[in-house]
Amino acid sequence: MDENEKLLRFQTKLKYMFNDPKLLKMALTHKSYAYEQSNPTYDMYNERIEFLGDAILEHIISDLLFSQKPEIPEGDMTKKRADIVCEASLSSALKRINGHDYIYLGKCEQNSNGKLKDAIVADAFEAILGAIYIDGGYDIAKEICLELLDKEIKTILAGGTLNTDYKTQLQEILQRHGNVKIEYVLQKEEGPEHDKSFTIDLFFNGRKIGEGTGKSKKQAEQEAAHKALIDGGELLGN
């Protein structure tokens, strides 16, 4: 599949056709991919447009909560907004339309299953929203955002919670096997003190079933459990 066809397919899933497809390409480009090109610049990858998308997302969900939930106080609105726009929520929403398959990643991130990492997918969600806002305006960005997050919004507004504790989910499934040994083992710690990255291997009864990377050990453990839940297959009874 060439790049034009790839972008066209994703726009079909997104239900929005860009006037400037280059904005979508930028939104889907992780810096690891850009850094593999010669002389990468800020307009080649999605961090700046993600910054914009994050602000648009907060505005859209704040507007929704203010309009639809006039009975709840500011503190509760803040919590509900945080639940809706959390990393795992945005990642889940984009994965529902297989958006993670269209992210441009460098070889290192590809080899570590970067397309499944909530942090990378959630950042792409915000960047895509920012790109739609630039390309088509606020009203279109709002419409698409609310459609993508419809499941999460309905759950939170109904008083429910989004179960994003993958470690607990996995533990409950594995314990069906009876006595089990679940271990999260630190394999790598990289980067400067202010920007560390941790890699965790997950073992079930001595067998490796997942690997995760994150900015904290806790985040890496959650990512490892999430990967195991996705790829567990026969082991998890899927």
All residues at 6 or more sequence positions from 82 whose CB lies less than 8 Å from its CB, including other chains: none
Residue recorded with tokens 């709002």 = 142
126 as an active site residue: the answer is yes
Catalytic hit among 54, 109, 123, 223: 54
- Both tokens assigned to 165: 């504790």
Strand spans (E) along the chain: 182-190, 197-204, 207-214
Rounded (5°) CA angle 67-136-57: 40
- Both tokens assigned to 228: 């195991």
Give the distance, in angstroms, between the CA of residue 90 and the centroid of all CA atoms in the same chain.
5
Catalytic hit among 126, 135, 211, 221: 126
- Angle, to 10 degrees, between the axis of helix 3-14 and the axis of helix 21-28? 90
54 as an active site residue: the answer is yes
Backbone dihedral angles phi then psi of residue 206, each to the nearest 5 degrees: 85, -5
The catalytic residues are 54, 126
